[in-house]
Every structure is written in C-alpha cells, then in structure tokens.
C-alpha cells in the first residue's frame, strides 16, 4: 500500500470482498463541503463525525455523540480518513470485519470553516483548533473541535453559543433515526440479510 495514498489506512483495515462499505476512491469536489455523522452500533455504540477535506472525509469517533448544549463537551477520537463515497453509506458491516455492526446516516449536510471559506480545514486542525458552521438536518450553527494535549490524539467536540444552541436538550434521544431512510439501527439491521443475497 502506497504510503502517500490518503486512504491507505482505510483500505488496509478492510477486506472489500467481505464488507459492503465503499472501496475508497478519492475525487476532487467543487461546491459545498460534505458534513455527515453516522451512528454506528459496533462493539460499542458511537457516532462518527466526518468533514470533507482535500477529497477525503476527515473522521472522528464520538463515543457519547454530539449535543446541542454548549456546556456538554464530548470526546472525539480521530480515526482514519474515509472516502467521500462513505458519506451516504448505511448498512451492516458483517461479523469478523473491521467495525462490524450496523451503520445509519444520523445527520448530513454541508459545513463551512468559520475561519474563512478559503481556509482549508486541515490547516485549522493542524493548529489544534477548528470551528465549523454545520448546515445539517439535526445539527446547525457553530461547533468547535479542540485538540486535547496528551499521549494519544484526542479532541473535544462541542456546540458554540449561538441561536441554534439548546441547553439541556438530548438530540440523540429526541432524534435517533437515519436522515437518509428514516430507519432505526434495528430496522436497517433487519432489512440487510435480504439485501445481502444480491451482494455477490
């Protein structure tokens, strides 16, 4: 695997004869930058935040999920860059594969770098402090990603104070299902075995 392949880690972790996940092409995209959060019932339920940067999706696993309450700061653990085609992936990663479990598209839309439309997200991330305006169906307005000093890379992800902030709300409880299909994790898991028969 070429070390300059931005999706090298993504491809190394997966056997595409086994998993229905996208194979990982990169491509430049014009226009709005993709924002997505996938809800992933792997060994532990978590939420995967992905933000488009340079033809791939920068990714973080958020164990406790996002919040609309600026007082609630959530741990976000960086994971490997994902292909752009992952943004609308919803389905079941079969047992024995990396990340085995059900994935739904919990929120999607676009985002802007609040440091400026011409500032690359990766430059903000290199500085350890990114602020983005999310234009999703569930999450809207300013969110911050702040790197925490320590041995392993960890970030905090939280709502900034603006008109979209809601203190005391639990968006995960209020709005648990997919924005793509309207389905719950359980409904996607149930539907998948039938679809798998066509997957050869």
Note the residues at the interface with Mn ion (CB under 5 A).
40, 48
Give the residue with the Cβ less far from Mn ion, 89 or 113: 89
Distance CA 117, CA 120 (A): 8
Give the residue with the Cβ less far from Mn ion, 52 or 80: 80
CB of 101 vs Mn ion, minimal distance in Å: 8
Distance CA 168, CA 1 (A): 47
- Residue 146: closest CA among 76, 68, 80: 76
Residue 56: strand, helix, or coil: strand
Beta bridge partners of 143: 132, 159
* Nearby residues of 94 by Cβ (< 8 Å), 6 or more positions away: 18, 19, 20, 100
Give the residue with the Cβ less far from Mn ion, 13 or 115: 13
Return the number of other C-beta atoms located less than 10 Å from residue 184's C-beta.
15
CB of 163 vs Mn ion, minimal distance in Å: 31
Half-sphere exposure of 148 (CA within 13 A, CB side): 14
Q: Report, in angstroms and rounded to the nearest whole number, the Rg of the chain calculated over CA atoms.
A: 17
CB of 53 vs Mn ion, minimal distance in Å: 18
Give the residue with the Cβ less far from Mn ion, 65 or 142: 65
Give the residue with the Cβ less far from Mn ion, 51 or 165: 51
1 and 13 Cβ atoms separated by less than 8 Å: no
CB of 82 vs Mn ion, minimal distance in Å: 9
Query: Residue number with the shortest CB distance to Mn ion?
Result: 40
Give the residue with the Cβ less far from Mn ion, 48 or 52: 48
CB of 170 vs Mn ion, minimal distance in Å: 21
CB of 100 vs Mn ion, minimal distance in Å: 10
Distances from the Cα of 69 to the Cαs of 72, 140, 176, in angstroms? Answer: 6, 12, 17
């Amino acid at each position: 695997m070429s070390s300059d392949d931005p999706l090298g880690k993504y491809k190394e972790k997966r056997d595409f004869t086994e998993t229905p996940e996208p194979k990982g092409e990169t491509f430049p995209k014009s226009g709005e930058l993709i924002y997505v959060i996938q809800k992933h019932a792997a060994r532990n339920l978590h939420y995967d935040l992905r933000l488009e940067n340079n033809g791939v999706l920068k990714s973080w696993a958020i164990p406790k999920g996002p919040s609309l309450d600026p007082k609630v700061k959530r741990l976000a653990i960086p994971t490997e860059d994902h292909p752009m085609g992952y943004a609308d992936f919803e389905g079941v990663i079969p047992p024995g594969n990396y990340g085995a479990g059900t994935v739904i598209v919990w929120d999607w839309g676009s985002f802007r770098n609040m440091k400026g439309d011409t500032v690359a997200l990766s430059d903000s991330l290199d500085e350890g402090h990114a602020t983005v305006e999310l234009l999703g169906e569930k999450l809207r307005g300013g969110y911050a990603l702040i790197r925490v000093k320590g041995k392993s890379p960890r970030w905090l992800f939280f709502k900034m104070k603006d008109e979209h902030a809601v203190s005391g709300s639990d968006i995960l409880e209020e709005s648990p299902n997919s924005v793509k299909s309207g389905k719950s994790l359980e409904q996607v898991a149930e539907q998948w075995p039938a679809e798998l028969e066509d997957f050869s």
